[in-house]
């Protein structure tokens, strides 16, 4: 069992959990993920690591309450525990001396972009972070990103905070304004990572995206997470999750993400009934 | 042996063969000739004293019989169910020359089940603690066997298992209707009671490396299996509804997706499924899809006689209404706009000259393309070594298929103090062969730990 030592609401439907998992904390690197199973009837779900504390032996998970598993996870309180946590999984981000690195986090993807920005900055790069969300309420960790970035640009789809527009609009302005960008990282919804990749392709900026397909074991034994990269099948859990954004088949990824939509809805409705019955 | 009727069992995940009654077991056991030089024993990779355990059944000492089995076999209720006895012990039974061989597997199952369901399971004698510690990478049949044997020899074994439940293929691969998971749990509990520690959720190569294990353990045994799925890399293979057998079976067996939404893991609700392959994994996948309500076609590129699956499994699959499309091979998958598979385009094959494996090579018949309409495809054409451990262990020699190179008799690898056995060494094989490799490695590790390693 993996006890929860801290729970914090970052935004409506976005929660932070700090979990005791010393072996994962000891090994974690930027870009890696973990798999958890909330309880015994639970499914295995992947979450990219948002942070870790090697000394305290804790990892930080940030997630949006969208389905049965994340809703169940959100119901756990400090002192309660997650049944299973496995990791760190996948390859770590390639950290190098690139020059100027742009780190783009969209929505709940703001969380996993944080360790990437921190590691790229520590390697001596100039880091510009661009974070965006639908509206002001869904933004978080602006201060944490400021602490590890040379510049932070914030945007909201509806203009309720800072700029109005998408992260791609900000990136475009940045590059058109004469900023020399050597590499871009994008983590967030597939549509956002695809839009970023399309844009940077025009500018010839190498772009790394962190893919989020359906996963089960996370160790390369099933192929549920397979994606097409440069025309070849790759398993995101062991070959990724980071890939060259200019080579990813995003349309294929989006279609595979829809595979269990019907059953996910059914499970959510059933969970709603169970809670209604219990509360009645 | 009595079994559930095909009509009933297609609708549930309960075990198909119901097992011997006391009377049937004793009648079968009394057929054993109690040979002075029992040929059957040479066919058993885990060295069971077969005549002795059968004699105890004749004498009515069923618990004693189970204990006799457990002197050498730590998982008898598993082996009695999943071993290919026709190619092992029963193949050498002298009675088999003129009559049916003694049903050794069924008797093994009977004794183990009797002990488990009738009160306390006794522990065998355990040697004095040597204080030596061994890390076992992988909690499948090979790792469990090795850990249990070392525990009996007085060493302290800790199993590092990547999934949340130990058992390896016994829990994620072999379906409930062939091997109930409660039985696997009971046998794993027996291994624990011998003093073996099991740490779940530990992916060696990621969570901890072999070199880090060697800092606190005196030896390491790698038994990570052949768990990486092979795909055909044909057009459309990443469409929705196309699974590796590993994924499909893991969802249903380990995650219990057949009980969705009571359990949270979903699996496709198929109307018509195609399973590609002719081995036991293909049969397991086909019979699983059938139980989930699908019409199932099994597509295999050679003919029935070349099928690597056990006859019993093929027979069960046929009885359950699985349609066999033999001498057929998929060449691409067709899909709809939403990205779901709608059809498997196949070619008819004919058999040509024998290939390297000695089996006649399937040759496509030109112009024989046809489409099977499907909503689910399960690819069961084999598994290969998972590279996580070799890739994170410098100096560990592997062959060109990624399997760890290890001595067949001792399990010794190119790294001092590191041993390996089971499918990660041999490639995908049987549960009992993986257990046999573990027994041999356990003896070698015991010698190594007692300081005789250098004299080997």
Q: Inform me whether the pLDDT recorded for B119 exceeds 80.
A: no
Chain A 194-253, residues with CB within 8 Å of chain B CB atoms? 216-217, 219-224, 226-228, 233, 238, 252
Distance CA B324, CA B178 (A): 21
Per-residue pLDDT at B355 exceeds 90:
no
Q: How far from B259 is each of B29, B251, B266, CA to CA, in Å? A: 38, 10, 9
DSSP string for B21-55: -HHHHHHHHTT----SS-GGGGG-TT---HHHHHH
- Within 8 A of B264 by CB-CB distance, chain A residues are 41-43, 68-69, 267
Structure confidence at residue B22 (pLDDT): 96
The answer to whether the Cα torsion of B147, B148, B150, B151 is positive or negative is positive
Query: Please, what is the Cα angle at B292 between B289 and B298, to 5 degrees?
Result: 20
Nearest in space to A159 (alpha carbons), one of A140, A133, A177: A133
Q: pLDDT digit string (tens) for B302-313?
A: 999 999 999 999
Of residues B97, B118, B105, the one with CA closest to residue B75: B105
Residue B454 is predicted with a pLDDT of: 45
Out of A86, A256, A270, whose CB is closest to B339?
A: A256
CB < 8 Å to A220, chain B: 227-228, 386-388
Confidence (pLDDT) at A202: 95
Q: Which of B238, B260, B266 sits opposite A256 (nearest CB)?
A: B238
CA-to-CA distance for B70 and B121, rounded, in angstroms?
11
* Contact between B379 and B243 (Cβ < 8 Å): yes
DSSP for B63-87 reads HHHHHHHHHH-S-HHHHHHHS-GGG
The backbone region for B316, taken as left when phi is positive above 0, alpha when psi lies in -120 to 50, beta otherwise, is alpha
Query: Phi, psi (5° rounding) for residue A134?
Result: -60, -45
Best residue in B216, B264, B379 for a mutation probing chain A (most A CBs within 10 Å): B264
* pLDDT greater than 70 at residue B50: yes
pLDDT along chain A (280 residues), means of 10: 96 94 97 97 96 97 94 95 97 95 96 98 97 93 96 94 93 94 96 97 97 96 96 96 98 95 89 73
Q: How far apart are CA A36 and CA A46, in angstroms?
A: 6
CB-CB under 8 Å, A221 with B246? yes
What six digits make up the tokens of B25?
A: 């077991």
Cβ–Cβ contact A190 with B under 8 A: no
Which pLDDT tens digit goes with each residue over B255-297?
Answer: 999 999 999 999 999 999 999 999 999 999 999 999 999 999 9
Q: Which residue has the tokens 């400090």?
A: A78
- Dist CA B342 CA B351 (whole Å): 29
Q: How confident is the model at residue B456 (pLDDT cuts 50, 70, 90)?
A: very low
Q: Which residues from chain A sit within 8 angstroms of residue B244, using beta carbons?
A: 222-223
| CB-CB neighbors (< 8 A) of A41 in chain B | 256, 262-264
Q: What is the pLDDT of chain B when averaged over all its residues?
A: 94
Q: What is the pLDDT of residue B452?
A: 64
Whether the CA torsion B150, B154, B156, B161 is positive or negative: it is positive
Distance, CA of B155 to CA of A106 (rounded, Å): 52
Predicted local distance difference test score (pLDDT) of residue B360: 85
Q: How far apart are CA A112 and CA A212, in angstroms?
A: 12
Q: Which residues of chain A have a CB within 8 Å of the CB of B251?
A: 216
Q: Given CA atoms B210, B216, B217, B218 in this order, what sign does their dihedral have? A: positive
- Which residues does B268 contact at the CB level (< 8 Å), separation at least 6? A259, B241, B243, B375, B376
> pTM for this structure?
0.95
Q: Judge: A263–B266 Cβ closer than 8 Å, yes or no.
A: yes
**Min CA distance, B231 vs chain A (Å)?**
9
Measured between alpha carbons, how far is residue B110 from residues B39, B44, B167, B428 in Å? 22, 18, 21, 28
d(Cα A27, Cα A49) in Å, to the nearest integer? 11
Q: Which residue in A277, A224, A188 sits closest to A43, CA to CA?
A: A224
Q: Which residues in B lie closer than 8 A to residue A22 (C-beta atoms)?
A: none
Give B262's contacts in chain A (Cβ within 8 Å): 41
How many residues are given for chain B? 456
Measured torsion, CA atoms of residues B77, B108, B1, B290, in degrees rounded to the nearest 10: 30
Question: Which of A258-262, B88-92, B450-454 comes out lowest in average pLDDT?
Answer: B450-454
Residue of B nearest to A23 (CA): B207
* Distance (Å, whole) CA B421 – CA B441: 7
Kindly state the average pLDDT of the residues B231-249: 97
Q: Are the C-beta atoms of B424 and B205 separated by less than 8 Å? A: no
State the smallest CA–CA distance between residue B28 and chain A in angstroms: 41
């Amino acid at each position: 069992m993996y006890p929860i030592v801290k729970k914090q609401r970052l935004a409506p439907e976005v929660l932070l959990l700090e979990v005791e998992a010393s072996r994962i904390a000891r090994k974690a690197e930027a870009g890696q993920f973990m798999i958890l199973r909330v309880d015994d009837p639970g499914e295995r779900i992947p979450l990219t690591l948002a942070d870790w504390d090697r000394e305290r032996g804790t990892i930080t998970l940030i997630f949006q309450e969208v389905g049965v598993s994340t809703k169940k996870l959100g119901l756990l309180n400090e002192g309660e525990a997650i049944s299973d946590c496995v990791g760190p999984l996948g390859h770590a981000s390639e950290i190098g001396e690139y020059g100027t690195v742009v780190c783009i986090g969209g929505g709940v993807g703001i969380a996993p972009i944080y360790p990437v920005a921190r590691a790229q900055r520590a390697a001596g790069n100039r880091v510009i972070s661009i974070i965006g969300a639908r509206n002001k309420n869904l933004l978080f960790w602006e201060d944490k990103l400021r602490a590890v970035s040379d510049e932070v640009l914030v945007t909201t789809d509806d203009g309720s905070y800072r700029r109005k527009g998408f992260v791609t609009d900000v990136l475009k302005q940045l590059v058109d304004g004469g900023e020399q960008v050597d590499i871009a990282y994008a983590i967030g919804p597939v549509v956002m990572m695809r839009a970023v990749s399309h844009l940077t392709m025009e500018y010839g900026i190498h772009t790394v995206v962190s893919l989020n397909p359906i996963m089960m074991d996370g160790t390369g034994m099933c192929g549920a997470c397979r994606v097409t990269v440069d025309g070849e099948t790759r398993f995101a859990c062991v070959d990724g999750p980071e890939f060259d954004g200019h080579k990813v088949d995003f349309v294929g990824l989006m279609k595979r993400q829809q595979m269990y939509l019907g059953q996910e809805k059914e499970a959510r409705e059933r969970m709603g009934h169970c809670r209604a019955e219990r509360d009645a | 042996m009595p079994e559930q009727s095909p009509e009933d069992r297609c609708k549930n995940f309960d075990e198909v063969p119901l097992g011997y009654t006391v009377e049937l077991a004793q009648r079968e056991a009394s057929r054993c000739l109690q040979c002075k030089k029992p040929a059957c024993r040479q066919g058993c990779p885990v060295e069971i004293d077969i005549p002795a355990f059968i004699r105890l059944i004749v004498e009515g000492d069923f618990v004693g019989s189970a204990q006799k089995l457990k002197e050498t076999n730590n998982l008898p209720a598993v082996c009695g169910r999943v071993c290919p006895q026709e190619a092992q012990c029963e193949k050498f039974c002298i009675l088999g020359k003129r009559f049916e061989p003694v049903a050794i597997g069924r008797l093994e199952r009977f004794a183990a089940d009797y002990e488990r369901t009738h009160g306390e399971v006794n522990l065998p004698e355990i040697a004095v603690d040597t204080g030596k510690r061994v890390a076992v990478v992988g909690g499948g049949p090979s790792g469990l066997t090795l850990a249990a044997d070392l525990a009996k020899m007085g060493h302290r074994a800790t199993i590092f298992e990547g999934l949340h439940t130990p058992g390896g293929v016994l829990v994620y691969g072999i379906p409930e209707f062939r091997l109930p998971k409660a039985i696997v749990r009971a046998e794993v509990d027996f291994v624990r009671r011998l003093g073996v520690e099991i740490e779940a959720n530990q992916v060696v190569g990621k969570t901890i490396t072999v070199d880090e294990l060697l800092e606190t353990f005196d030896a390491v045994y790698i038994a990570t299996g052949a768990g990486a799925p092979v795909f055909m890399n044909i057009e459309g293979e990443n469409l929705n509804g196309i699974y590796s057998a590993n994924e499909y079976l893991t969802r249903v067996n380990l995650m219990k997706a057949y009980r969705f939404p009571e359990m949270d893991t979903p699996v496709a609700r198929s109307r018509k499924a195609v399973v590609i392959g002719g081995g036991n994994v293909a049969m397991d996948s086909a019979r699983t899809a059938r139980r989930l309500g699908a019409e199932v076609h099994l597509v295999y590129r050679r003919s029935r006689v070349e099928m690597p699956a056990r006859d019993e499994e093929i027979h069960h699959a046929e009885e359950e209404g699985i349609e066999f499309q033999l001498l057929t091979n998929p060449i691409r998958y067709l899909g709809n706009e939403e990205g779901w598979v709608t059809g498997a385009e196949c070619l008819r094959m004919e058999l040509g000259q024998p290939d390297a494996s000695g089996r006649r090579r399937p040759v496509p018949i030109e112009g024989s393309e046809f489409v099977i309409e499907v909503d689910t495809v399960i690819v069961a054409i084999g598994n290969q070594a998972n590279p996580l451990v070799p890739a994170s262990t410098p100096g560990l020699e592997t062959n060109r298929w990624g399997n760890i190179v290890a001595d067949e008799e001792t399990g010794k690898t190119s790294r001092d103090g590191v041993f390996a056995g089971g499918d990660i060494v041999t490639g995908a094989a049987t549960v009992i062969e993986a257990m046999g490799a573990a027994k041999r490695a356990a003896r070698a590790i015991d010698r190594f730990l007692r300081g005789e390693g250098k004299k080997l």
